[in-house]
């Protein structure tokens, strides 16, 4: 059952991933917010602010990771309004997950997903393609094991 839940959320994270004209992947904060089970933008925005501080303290450009964008919506009164959103890099999503509500299982799944995806990016396609099928399976299994360990630790914390 845990494997099915993990696969479900991995698919969800992939479904909301966007790619710009230069082939750079990004996620919209408001779409990520819903998958991470935050119902109010104000609550999620606090997590974003914590993540920005983490980036700043790590010497990583906030502007590079969190691009301000506004989106038009139609309000309940039929009036068009602009709402704040962000284009997020993979790293920004990972840091948001790290700062999220650790009592939520989906937060642990997000941490695992973005950590695994980041690690995959670190290994070039050429390096990965040079691995034997057994080495690829071992590599994937090791990443999954680490992700499951993180998920287990989060679950233990939320029970406390």
Q: How far apart are CA 56 and CA 144, in angstroms?
A: 29
Q: What are the residue boundaries of the structural domains of the chain, listed by start?
A: 2-159
> Structure tokens of 28?
């919209």
Q: Which parts of 58-132 fold into alpha helices (H)? A: 62-65, 90-99, 105-122, 125-130
pTM of the full structure: 0.70
pLDDT digits (tens, 9 = 90+) for 67-90: 999 888 887 888 888 899 999 998
- Is pLDDT of 144 > 80? no
Is 125's pLDDT higher than 70?
no
Question: Per residue in 23-64, pLDDT tens?
Answer: 889 999 999 999 999 999 999 999 999 999 999 999 999 999
Q: What is the residue-averaged pLDDT of the chain?
A: 84
- Closest by CA to 42, choosing from 31, 30, 24, 58, is 30
């Amino acid at each position: 059952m845990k494997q099915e839940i993990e696969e479900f959320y991995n698919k969800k994270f992939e479904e909301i991933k966007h790619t710009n004209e230069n082939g750079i992947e990004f996620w919209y904060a408001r779409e990520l917010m819903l998958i991470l089970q935050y119902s109010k933008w104000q609550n999620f925005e606090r997590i974003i602010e914590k993540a920005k501080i983490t980036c700043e303290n790590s010497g990583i450009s906030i502007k590079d990771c969190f691009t301000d964008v506004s989106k038009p919506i139609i309000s309940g009164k039929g009036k068009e309004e602009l709402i704040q959103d962000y284009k997020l890099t993979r790293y920004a999503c990972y840091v948001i997950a790290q700062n999220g509500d650790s009592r939520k299982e989906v937060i642990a799944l997000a941490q695992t997903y973005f950590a695994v995806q980041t690690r995959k990016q670190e290994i070039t396609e050429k390096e990965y393609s040079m691995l034997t099928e057994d080495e690829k399976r071992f590599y994937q299994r090791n990443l999954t094991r680490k992700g499951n360990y993180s998920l287990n630790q989060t679950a233990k914390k939320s029970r406390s």
